[in-house]
Amino acid sequence: MSRVGLALVTVLFFAGCAHRHQADNNSMVFRYNESKGITSLDPAFARSLPLIWPVHQLYNGLVQLSDSLTVEPSIAHSWEVDESGLRYTFNLRTDVRFHDSPLFPHGKGRRVVASDFVYSFGRILNPDVASPGAWIFSVLDSDHPNTTHGLRMINDSTLAIHLTKPFPAFLGLLSMPYAYVVPREVVEHYGKDFRSNPIGTGPFYFKYWKEGEKLVFRKNPNYFEVDEKGQRLPYLEAVNVSFITDKQSEFLEFLLGNIDYLSGIHTTSKDELLTRAGGLNPKYADRVRMLTGPYLNTEYLGILVDTTLDIAQNHPLSKLEVRKAIAYGFDRERMMTYLRSNMGYPAHNGFVPNGMPGFSHKVMGYSYNPELARELLSNAGYPDGKGLETIVLSTTSDYLDIAEFIQHQLADVGIPLRVEVFPGPAYREMMANSKLMMFRGSWVADYADPENYLSLFLSENFSPGGPNYTHFANSEFDSLYQKALRISSDTERYAIYNKMDSLVMAQVPVIPMFYDKVVRFVNPQVEGMTTNPMNLLTLKRVKKKASQ
């Protein structure tokens, strides 16, 4: 038995009975741990999951995402887009109120009106606020007459938004936390301290925060959403967030029933909790539920294909056959099984990941085919690898095992590979400034539209000014991108995106390795917990059974 396993048995033996018969007063409280800490409860700064998750409980936007990533109504009960694709009109609910605050008349939360969105979006754009989310409003037509940043309150329950160009993914952008609504009077009263004095409209309201120790939200009794039976959401009475930094201690607290939920799998508990095939260890079947699903993150190898740069001139990676030989030269299934316990999906299709609306298995990528890899290498002028200079793969330490796995497998087909490991900040700087010929990369979706992935290959997005780190340039690709922006039909637009993805795969500026997977471990008392490809933590429909 492993040391971790022995420790678990010892702790559970002495503590099991006490926790089995604990009082039922926790049955309506959802408890999770945030090991990375929380620095702000202001949606203007919700740029990572540790910040997005609590903010998601406190606020709402015009729209929201379903678990299948379709855009659904939230504070806006409906909307229209004009034929030009440049004007969006949102019709707001009249029963949405901010949480109670002494800063409102009589201390009661006031109704949300269209001008609150004009203020909230303008705040994100305000350079003095320095929100990392200002980019999501870059398509607003700030010069449109009689508007503020392209926004106009027609009346209390009608909001018009004007864009500079058609952008069908705009509704998806509006589901992001940066687009959540906040009350002007509260924000202006607290200033920067709004981070710790949040007032939103969400299913829970802020109650208590001792930073680094405990964060508590309580049920919002005035929340506007109801379930299919007409019962007002949320079901829970409270959410309690702890801040245990040690992952093994967090795991033990979960098994003891003191935490209801774990996200992801850490190396300290992976072998204890999972089988080699990636299933739940049978000995925890009565105490843990494991939920998995696609996560919008593509892990890939990037290759600098811009031969105008000195680093790429006369480099073997400038030959398409060599890039394809690498793509065929390693076994993604074996890599996922042995290095990631199948916590991901082998990437045999395009750059757009499994789980994204519009993902298609018809986009053909690459699978393990060492014979074809050798043939391509020979066609490139390097039979059995003769004359091929050593190729350098740059990465960070947390992906060293994957890099070394690829190094070993490529050696079998005649491709010499050297792995270089860099610290994270230096690595990102070199990647952005075209100093790495081949690098390990990942792209996590900002919003639920394939455009978010395909924009990485626009020629106008060359790094360091944009996210096109490979400097891929293709006029047909650029033309299809502009065409897709003018199409409102998702079905037609996704067909174009599939063609664009296929163009990228044919030229191999990137080699997808795997599409990531959401994995959640949940206390069996918890009901209504689901997964979604954005890995949002949505608690408004979660229930807890009373302790036995």
pLDDT confidence of residue 257: 92
CA–CA dist 465, 207 (Å, integer) = 42
Q: What is the pLDDT of residues 372-415, one digit of tens each?
A: 999 999 999 999 999 999 999 999 999 999 999 999 999 999 99
- Assess whether pLDDT exceeds 80 at residue 27: no
Q: What is the pLDDT of residues 88-129, one digit of tens each?
A: 999 999 999 999 999 999 999 999 999 999 999 999 999 999
pLDDT confidence of residue 270: 82
Q: What is the mean pLDDT of residues 338-350?
A: 94
What is the pLDDT confidence band of residue 181, given thresholds at 50, 70 and 90? very high
Q: What is the pLDDT of residues 244-256, one digit of tens each?
A: 999 999 999 999 9
* pTM exceeding 0.75: yes
- The pLDDT > 70 percentage for the chain reads 95
Round the CA-based radius of gyration of the chain to a whole number and report it: 25
450 is written with which tokens? 């394939």
What is the CATH code for 295-517?
A: 3.10.105.10
Torsion of CA 251, 256, 259, 262, to 10 degrees: 40
Q: What is the pLDDT of residues 475-512, one digit of tens each?
A: 999 999 999 999 989 999 999 999 999 999 999 999 99
Of residues 154 and 3, which shows the higher confidence score? 154
pLDDT confidence of residue 331: 98
Of residues 417 and 2, which shows the higher confidence score? 417
Q: Where are the domains of the chain?
A: 1-35+203-288+523-548, 37-200, 295-517
**Mean pLDDT, the chain, as a whole number?**
93
CATH 2.60.34.10 fits 37-200, yes or no: no
Q: What is the pLDDT of residues 517-526, one digit of tens each?
A: 999 999 999 9
CA–CA dist 4, 118 (Å, integer) = 53
State how far the alpha carbon of 162 is from the alpha carbons of 86, 114, 137, in Å. 6, 14, 11
Q: Half-sphere exposure (CA, 13 Å, Cβ side) for 348?
A: 11
Pick the CATH number of 1-35+203-288+523-548 from 3.20.20.140, 3.20.20.70, 3.40.50.620, 3.40.190.10: 3.40.190.10
Lowest mean pLDDT among 21-25, 151-155, 476-480: 21-25
CA–CA dist 34, 242 (Å, integer) = 6
Residue 43: which residues within 8 A CB-CB, separation 6 or more? 55, 59, 177, 178, 180, 182, 200
Residue 444 β-bridge partners: 297
